[in-house]
Amino acid sequence: MARILILGGGGMIGQKLAFHLAETGWNGQPAELTLHDLGFPPDGAPAAQRITGSLAEDGAAARLVATRPDVIFHLAAIVSGEAEQDFDKGWQVNMFATWALLTALRAEHEASGGQYRPRVVFSSSIAVFGAPFPDRIGDEFLTAPLTSYGAQKACCELMVSDVSRKGVIDGISIRLPTICVRPGRPNKAASGFFSGIIREPLNRQDAVLPVPDTVRHWHASPRSAVGFLTRAGSMDISALGARRSLNMPGLSCTVAEQIEALRDVAGAAAVARIRPVPDEAIMSIVAGWPQDFETRRAAELGFVAENDFGEIIRTYIADDMPSG
Amino acid sequence: MARILILGGGGMIGQKLAFHLAETGWNGQPAELTLHDLGFPPDGAPAAQRITGSLAEDGAAARLVATRPDVIFHLAAIVSGEAEQDFDKGWQVNMFATWALLTALRAEHEASGGQYRPRVVFSSSIAVFGAPFPDRIGDEFLTAPLTSYGAQKACCELMVSDVSRKGVIDGISIRLPTICVRPGRPNKAASGFFSGIIREPLNRQDAVLPVPDTVRHWHASPRSAVGFLTRAGSMDISALGARRSLNMPGLSCTVAEQIEALRDVAGAAAVARIRPVPDEAIMSIVAGWPQDFETRRAAELGFVAENDFGEIIRTYIADDMPSG
């Protein structure tokens, strides 16, 4: 029995990860899941325990790790837009709560006489990077975030690495591409349109495109994200050496290429539902985002993502598209 | 009158900076100095105020910035070796106290209706980098520290940049080379020998060399460090854009080149005082340190350091060597 704690276990990726682990288990053993989040969807993933609350509450981290889970997935965060609007909340939730988690893990490590040293998978983001960029961002490119969210993620990566170096945890930070196609309703994230222009037409709804179709970005499907997390949680990471922050693979494509893939899968009527409504604010945010990566280290370590955008669309249809 | 606060104002660099500012003023005005540190040397630099205490104490940061200094030099830190031995203290003093400082500055910024936006110069270090390195570390190389001290400095850089991006301060982080020749008595820092093998022989004492003379490292004199700080404190830094962390110039040379420079300045008798005593622990630490940089951005912004190690030695003799 592998005891697995998912922080942010009520979110889109957390739920998909939980469903996956409940079904497939963990390294040949059943997975006993504890999910923690502010709330959970109805008909959510099965779990031995669902705990409702914020990791930023006093004592929350210590209570959560008191059972010494074997693996901890830390996906809890407030999103980029909210962290930008509420500076204090962003730093408290996205950075200081991670510090509290690491501090609680250190207390358990010490209480166990150094025996307890869990795998911790920290969900980071390509938001740790900021323009200007080379054509392809390599594994040795600097982290110069242009948002508070990115700065908070970058700080957490440094902490996860340092606590790991001290032997307290066996941590890894994986920098996720933009996850596309996100299921569900449109949200207000500046990146929302990358999913919206595919999801809405497939569901016979209109979609708005706020940027030129020449915009290039870095994508991976939710299914790939679950694959990254389970791989990061179970692989031997000694090959990482001291550099425990890893750019995840993805697919670099333009909005025009996304739209062509939609046409291939769903026809011209679907494409006709995409309405260009230029939005200067979104254009300016997106201009600071990474467009392409060369993820050599991740490839060597066996992380894989989609090879073309059609595959990403078909994954959405298979995994998430509402029937009918 | 420019009101200048130096945190870490009792330390070697803080004192040199204070002496310099007391003598030369600030942009043509007199400098009113407030120095803060755990303690101050006798016969120290003149200052309007000397405040004794730790920046990590509750409320210390808020009290220190309540007078709204025009420029703040943040040089306060516990050193690399101590941060490595005492994990909690390192993070509390080197990272959380910086957060407390930035939080206090934000409170003043808001209380002033957004008018107060001081220049903050954060003293960072090449310890934010960790091996493996390219032959020369460029301005876009990743920060992958191999010590807690380096991780703490890298976190502070991210915070200084983010708070600056929000318009609360006008901050800059400068990554100092190893400062050589450090005056005074030998200390236990792993890097101490770089200064010791010059300073001790010049003062007719024996010095120990714990590494092979092929070791290459990145140096600048204390006088250059004061130059970096005053430039960072007074220049227009809008040219930095969003990337407010800057590798400082320095001199890359081997220990053998240091020794040849000593021979040129002080003769064979001085060199004969250097005794090789290989120390595996120090060799292994030093193996993870940067050896050379290409500091193009700093050069474009007018930062300058020494061009040969003889210049560094002559600076020590002129500025710091005890007479007699």
Report DSSP letters for A65-83, one per residue.
HTT--SEEEE-----HHHH
φ and ψ at residue A297, rounded to 5 degrees: -60, -45
- Could you report the per-residue pLDDT of B48-70, keeping only the tens digit for each? 999 999 999 999 999 999 999 99
In terms of phi and psi (left: phi > 0; alpha: psi -120 to 50; beta: otherwise), the region of B141 is beta
B23: left (phi over 0), alpha (psi -120 to 50) or beta: alpha
* Chain A contact residues (CB < 8 Å to B): 87, 91, 99, 106, 130, 134, 139-146, 148, 151, 154-155, 158-159, 161-162, 165-166, 242-243, 245
| Helix (H/G/I), strand (E/B), else coil: B200 | helix
B210 vs B283: CA distance, rounded Å:
7
Question: Nearest CB to A166: which of B87, B141, B154?
Answer: B87
Coil, helix or strand at residue A96: helix
How far off is chain A from B137, nearest CA to CA, in Å? Answer: 11
Q: Which CATH class is domain A192-218+250-293+301-319?
A: alpha beta
* Bridge partners, residue A137, by sequence: A293
Would you tell me how many other CB atoms lie within 10 Å of the CB of residue A237? 19
Counting every residue, how long is chain A? Answer: 324
State whether B242 and A146 contact (CB < 8 Å): yes
H or E segment to which residue B120 belongs: strand B119-125
Residue A134 with chain B: CB contacts under 8 Å: 140
CATH of region A2-177+221-247: 3.40.50.720
Choose the closest CB to A158 out of B106, B155, B165. B155
d(CA A176, CA A289): 13
Helix spans in chain A (H): 12-24, 60-65, 80-85, 87-90, 97-111, 148-165, 192-202, 222-234, 255-266, 268-271, 280-286, 296-300, 309-319
Contact (Cβ atoms closer than 8 angstroms) between residue B212 and residue B222: no
Q: Which of B149, B218, B293, B303 is catalytic?
A: B149
Cβ contacts of B148 on chain A, cutoff 8 Å: 162, 166
Contacts with B144 from chain A: Cβ below 8 Å: 161, 242-243, 245
Q: How many CB pairs under 8 A join A and B?
A: 65
Per-residue pLDDT of chain B (324 residues; tens, 9 = 90+): 999 999 999 999 999 999 999 999 999 999 999 999 999 999 999 999 999 999 999 999 999 999 999 999 999 999 888 999 999 999 999 999 999 999 999 999 999 999 999 999 999 999 999 999 999 999 999 999 999 999 999 999 999 999 999 999 999 999 999 999 999 887 777 899 999 999 999 999 999 999 999 999 999 999 999 999 999 999 999 989 999 999 999 999 999 999 999 999 999 999 999 999 999 989 988 888 999 999 999 999 999 999 999 999 999 999 999 986
Closest to A213 (Cα-Cα) out of A254, A157, A184 = A254
How many angstroms separate the CA atoms of A41 and A53, rounded? 14
pLDDT in tens, B262-316: 999 999 999 999 999 999 989 988 888 999 999 999 999 999 999 999 999 999 9
Run of H or E residues at A275 = strand A274-276
Predicted local distance difference test score (pLDDT) of residue B141: 98
* Residue carrying the six token digits 């220190």: B64
Please state whether A48 falls in left (phi above 0), alpha (psi between -120 and 50) or beta. alpha
Residues 6+ apart with CB under 8 A from B163: B102, B105, B106, B169, B171
Residue from B156, B162, B245 whose CB has the most chain A CBs within 10 Å, to mutate: B162
Per-residue pLDDT 10s for chain A (324 aa) are 999 999 999 999 999 999 999 999 999 999 999 999 999 999 999 999 999 999 999 999 999 999 999 999 999 999 888 999 999 999 999 999 999 999 999 999 999 999 999 999 999 999 999 999 999 999 999 999 999 999 999 999 999 999 999 999 999 999 999 999 999 887 777 899 999 999 999 999 999 999 999 999 999 999 999 999 999 999 999 989 999 999 999 999 999 999 999 999 999 999 999 999 999 989 988 888 999 999 999 999 999 999 999 999 999 999 999 986
List the one residue out of A12, A88, A22, A78 whose CA is nearest residue A230. A22
Going by C-alpha positions, the residue among A317, A320, A19, A75 that lies closest to residue A184 is A320
Q: CA-nearest residue of chain B to A130?
A: B242
**Residue A140, both tokens:** 């040795």
Q: Which residues of B touch A139 (CB under 8 A)?
A: 142
CA A238 – CA A243 distance, rounded (Å):
10
- A87 CB neighbours in chain B (<8 A) are 106, 166
Residue of chain A whose alpha carbon sits nearest to that of B244: A144
Instruction: Return the active site residues of A.
Output: 149
Asked if residue A263 lies in contact with residue A197, where contact means CB atoms within 8 angstroms, the answer is no
Contact between A242 and B148 using a beta-carbon 8 Å cutoff:
no
Q: How far is CA A160 from CA A169, A172, B51, B81, in A?
A: 8, 7, 35, 20
Residue type, A315: T
Residue A322 is encoded by which pair of tokens? 């509402």
Say if the Cβ atoms of A162 and B142 lie within 8 Å: no
- Cβ(B4)–Cβ(B32) below 8 Å: yes
| Sequence ranges of the domains in chain A | 2-177+221-247, 192-218+250-293+301-319
CB within 8 Å: A140 and B145: no
Which chain B residue has its CA at the smallest distance from A88's CA?
B103
Residues of B with CB under 8 A from a CB of A: 87, 91, 99, 106, 130, 134, 139-146, 148, 151, 154-155, 158-159, 161-162, 165-166, 242-243, 245
Number of Cα atoms under 13 Å in the Cβ half of residue B238: 2
* Furthest-apart CA atoms within chain B: distance in Å: 64
What are the structure tokens assigned to A161, written together?
């690495």
- The rounded distance, in Å, linking the Cα atoms of B21 and B148 is 32
Here the tokens at position A203 are: 């569901």
The two tokens of residue B174 are 């400068």
